[in-house]
Structure 1
Amino acid sequence: MTVALSGCGSSPGSGDVTLKLVAADYDVAGGQSSKKYWADLATEFESKNPGIKIDVQIESWNDVDRKVAEMVKAGKAPDIAQIGAYADYAAAGKLYSADQLLSIPEQANFLTPLTDAGEVKGVQYGLPFVASTRLLFYNKKLFKEAGIKAGPTTWDDLRKDAEKLKARTDAKYPFALPLGPEEAQAETMMWLLSGGDGYTDPVGNYSIDSAQNIATFTWLKTNLVDAELTGPVAPAKLNRKDAFAAFTRGEVGMLNGHPSLMQAAEKANVEVGKVAMPGSGGKPKATMGVADWIMGFKQNGHQAEAGKFLDFVFSDKNVLDFAGQNDLLPVTISASEAMEKDPEHQDLKKFLEELPTAVLPPVGKTSWAAVSENIKKNVGRAVEPEGVPSSVLGKIGQEANAAENAE
């Protein structure tokens, strides 16, 4: 849908500038909340900034990245795009850097992990729009039936809890492990971080087949999958969407989840417990964070106008409005502090607590899209009956390094 939010186009000699904004639709229920958010925001901005008009195009998440790519390829880049990835455009020199767009206070207000994830070769191009973290969810009713008094804090706890859930309840999935092709790269990253490593080493090189990561998948295979604690669908074939749906039906004892699942489960009358993802010996140093991005394209030369609009987008009120209505986390320090103090958002508090130390996927690498796709397709094989974690991760790691070196 395209929403004309003003008299778009410039009158001859008026000096007006019309900024083209393409944004994603976050309304999972098919409603109009994203459309209304941008319409209201644009109307308010235009009233305060005569001479700058905003023309907004809202696209579904299924289409928005492709639509923007087609616009850029056709030489008709939007001035601003709010989409899932920025690195290819930054590497091609098509984006303004953050310091070319934002005032110093706004740029300095982003949470550090999000700023870091928005950088390509040390320069920030991706502006985080909304964020999320992951926690371990558990079904309180099933835990009570199994005689488990609290969420797990170590992998050993998690294994023992899964054994009790299998023995004492009718949970189909004591622990749901979605390593299917929908979003296996996220589930994988959560486990790698909880095992003490991740996708990259401290200097940013891929370390997918590190000794720690191989040990993590070996533990998963031996202690959860081979022990038949992960349910009737093999992890390599279980997609996140299906695991989440099973959780809302009360069929899952534990799984890794995000704020939207919390809301869906509560609507389905599933009482949810939430704890930080356990580490191998206790709480890990970091959990996984996720961000969606907004960026300014150079093509139309509207640097000053786009910057003024983005400063407005990142005001506390606007950041909090969007994050709050979509059960997501604000990306700025000041808005995060405000949300944490707001009783209305207490259910997001544990997610907020994890965000300042979260680690995001290496989205600043232009190779990441291909590497992520490879993980989605193949990582589940590491926990199959005949799977060898060192072999599967080794092949993914080799191909990741080849993709990186080919840039």
Structure 2
Amino acid sequence: MQRRYKGLTAAIAALTIAATLSGCGADGSDGDVTLKLVAADYGSGEANSSKKYWDEVARAYEKKTPGVKIDVTVLSWKDVDREVAEMVAKDEAPDLAQIGAYADYARAGKLYPVDNLVSVPTQANFLPMLRQAGEVDRVQYGLPFGASTRLLFFNEKLFDDAGVRAPKTWEDLEKAAAKLKDKGVKYPFALPLGSEESQAETMIWLLSGGGGYRDATGTAYQIDSPSNVETFTWLKKNLVGKGLTGPVAPGKLDRQQAFDAFTRGEVGMLNGHPTLMETAEKAGIKVGKVPLPGVDGEPKATMGVADWMMAFKQNGHRKEIGAFLDFVYEDRNVLSFSDRYDLLPVTVTASSTMEADPRNTALKPFLEQLPGSELYPVGETSWAKVSESVKRNIGKAVEPDGDPREVLEQIAGDARNAESAASSAEE
């Protein structure tokens, strides 16, 4: 990654010297301004709540910028998207929201375009694939904030005890899971297809099988494609049907349950992210990490995830919002957030700094995956409803009497309906 972006990093450095302020002609008051920020909580409790991070950033910014105050509200991930939606519906939108999706608000004309907010160096510094993922109709509205990728985690001790190695194909994975089961491992392969985060687990497996949510052009859903049907047919027959996914039915197993079981030493393999790596190692689990294999080897793509910052027009504080965001996306702040929550930086310069730091050796496999990863289709207003349908239905595809084709066709039908509704709303 460092070599790939060396030229761009130099260009950004040059631009930083030439441009330090947001675009001219901004609306907003010349008097005192309070910016309201609503953000998601990445912490696991009060001790490491994101409120502490944002309060530090806000106070540092207020100290250097007299006349601007930052009012911070941090909400749990279970509540934050809904709370912001309710604020917007009541015409009480915050100035800034750091949440999971931006496209609905962008298409409704409620957000500032990013190129009207931040300086050119700030916008140019976002990793290209994340910057593009923040676009609606080729205009960027979402600023990436925190990213991660997924790798196949395995318990090295359990693997050693079972005499197996990290799998390189699906057949290897199945054989390893069978040997783990023979050794009494409770969850040879934990497959969380419950309602919490099954849209992620599903996407990981679809990409591994050569498919995905969208077609190769990224213009249409392909949820019930032959490759996707084959993937879930294999999961049902070769993992779930052979009792290799543990005592809890995948459709009833949430991601956090699976992660907790991994930290207790009860799971042989699962798909994990950097936060789980640290938690498991603190619990004494020696974690091995490899990309989830494809059918016959490396998959065509792996899954990446990004959360989003967005700026609402309602209160008319464009100039003040842009200047604050320039500060938020300085390397020291991006790296501080990434370090606290084991996430990947979303900017070129912060990524290069993290990659070069020997203290971040454990994160390098995740960093290497990010540039070539595939993200959810967050730029589509239909995605929220498609994600809901996946969470509600995908577990049925691997039930004993389930039909993967029928389930994927049902989700595909929901996707077509969601796209149709989104198109009608835009007309």
Q: Say yes or no: TM over 0.5.
A: yes
Letter in 1 for 2:68: I
Aligned counterparts of 1:41 and 1:182: Cα–Cα separation in 2: 30
Over the aligned positions, Cα root-mean-square deviation in angstroms equals 1.4
User: Are 1:164 and 2:167 an aligned pair?
Assistant: no
Residues 1:138 and 2:157 are matched in the alignment: no
Deviation of 1:237 after TM superposition, in Å, equals 1.4
Q: Distance in 1 between matches of 2:30 and 2:118?
A: 26
Equivalent position to 1:194, from 190, 193, 208? 208
Q: Shift of the alpha carbon at 1:203?
A: 3.4
**Could you report, residue by residue, the CA deviation over 1:318-373 in whole angstroms, capped at 9, with x for unpaired residues?**
10000111111111111111111112222211111111111111111111111111
Deviates more, 1:200-209 or 1:46-55: 46-55
Q: TM-score, normalized by length of structure 2?
A: 0.89
Q: 2:5 — aligned with what?
A: none
What one-letter code is carried by the residue in structure 2 that aligns with 1:305? E
Residue 24 of structure 2 aligns with which residue? Answer: none
Aligned residue for 1:360? 375
Alignment of 1:207-218 (within 5 A): 207-218=222-233
**1:114 corresponds to which residue?**
130
Aligned to 2:263: 248
Q: Structure 2 matches for 1:1-400, cutoff 5 A? A: 15-148=31-164, 150-167=165-182, 169-201=183-215, 202-400=217-415
Residue identity (%) = 64
SS of residue in 2 equivalent to 1:406: helix
The alpha carbon displacement at 1:32 in A equals 4.8
2:9 equivalent in structure 1: none
Q: Which amino acid aligns with 1:45?
A: Y
Q: CA deviation at 1:91?
A: 1.2
Unaligned runs of 5+ in 1: 1-12
Q: 1:351 to 1:164 in 2, by over 3 A?
A: same
2-structure distance, mates of 1:390, 1:69: 34
TM-score relative to the length of structure 1 = 0.93
Aligned partner letter, 1:28? S
Distance across 2 between alignment mates of 1:64 and 1:399: 25
Q: Secondary structure at the match of 2:98?
A: strand
The 1-side partners of 2:370 and 2:339 are apart by 16
Q: 1:192 to 1:61 in 2, by over 3 A?
A: same
Q: Is there any run of 5+ residues in structure 2 with no aligned partner, and where?
A: 1-28, 423-427
Three-state SS of the structure 2 residue aligned to 1:198 is: coil
Question: What are the superposed Cα offsets for residues 120-149 of structure 1, whole Å, 9 maximum, x if unpaired?
Answer: 22221111110111100000010000111x
C-alpha separation between the residues in 1 aligned to 2:144 and 2:218? 22
Q: Give the Å deviation of 1:67.
A: 2.1
Over 3 Å counting, the alpha-carbon distance change for 1:359 and 1:14 in structure 2 is closer
SS in 2 for 1:213: helix
| Cα separation, 1, equivalents of 2:367 and 2:210 | 21
CA distance in 1, matches of 2:72, 2:251: 39
Deviation at 1:14, TM superposition (A): 7.1
Matches of 1:385 and 1:70, distance apart in 2: 40
The SS at the match of 1:203 is: coil
How many residue pairs align between the two structures? 393
- Amino acid in structure 1 at the alignment position of 2:42: Y
